[in-house]
Amino acid sequence: MKYPSQVGKMPARVLARLLAGQRLTHLSFQHIAATYRLAGPIERLRNEYGWPIIGQERIVHTTDPTGREARYFVYLLQISDIQIAGRDGQEFSKRVFEWEAKRIEVREKRTEGNEATLTPYRQSNNNFLSRDHSNIYNAKGSNHGKD
């Protein structure tokens, strides 16, 4: 398993979250990165970088009056794969989240006073950076990914 070389690109941003134990959907990633194209980075991480990302299909009822159902995928890494990544995975995720925090800070300074341009992502990113994630990398006997 290899890591993307550019921390600011979508494959790196996706992988950082998966290595942090997050489960991603197109909708959840859209709220983070303002893109609805999650399948592209997932395929690159699988095929070019060798990450064994699991895609769990979900089907939900919609509010469509015709009774239409919607299908989507939840993407994740199993705890065992996160553990294999170990310290390298933690450091990679940290570099990505620090890059994001720095970019957000620069943007917020440029748009100071204009609340409409601020992002809700900043809070979730800061929460990640302030937490200890060693429990993810040291977990034993988890059912992560076996919903």
- Parallel, antiparallel, or unpaired for β 69-76 and 54-61? antiparallel
Distance, CA of 122 to CA of 104 (rounded, Å): 7
Residue 2 forms part of a structural domain: no
Reading the block at residue 115, the tokens are: 């609340």
Residues 57, 66: Cα–Cα separation, whole Å? 22
> Has residue 147 been placed in a domain?
no
HSE (side-chain half, CA atoms, 13 Å) at 105:
8
Q: What is the pLDDT of residues 55-107, one digit of tens each?
A: 999 999 999 999 999 999 999 999 999 999 999 999 999 999 999 999 988 88
At residue 145, the pLDDT reads 44
Strand partners, 61: 69
In a domain, 105, yes or no: yes
- The answer to the question of residue 108 being in a domain is yes
Give the separation between CA 10 and CA 13, rounded to whole angstroms. Answer: 5
In the predicted structure, residue 36 carries a pLDDT above the cut 50: yes
Q: Please indicate, yes or no, if residue 81 is contained in any of the structural domains.
A: yes
Domain boundaries, position 97: 10-134
Question: Taking the model in full, what pTM does it have?
Answer: 0.76
Domain count, the chain: 1
Is 142 within a domain? no
Q: In the prediction, which pLDDT does 143 show?
A: 45
pLDDT averaged over every residue in the chain: 85
- Note whether residue 141 is domain-resident: no
Among 12-21, 26-35, 42-51, 125-134, which is the least confidently predicted range?
125-134
Asked whether residue 104 is domain-assigned, the answer is: yes
Contact between 2 and 19 under an 8 Å Cβ cutoff? The reply is no
Cβ burial 89-105 (10 Å sphere, 16+ → b, else e): bbebbbebbebbbeebe
Q: What does the angle CA 90 – CA 27 – CA 117 come to, to the nearest 5 degrees? A: 85
Neighbouring CB atoms inside 10 A of 15's CB total 28
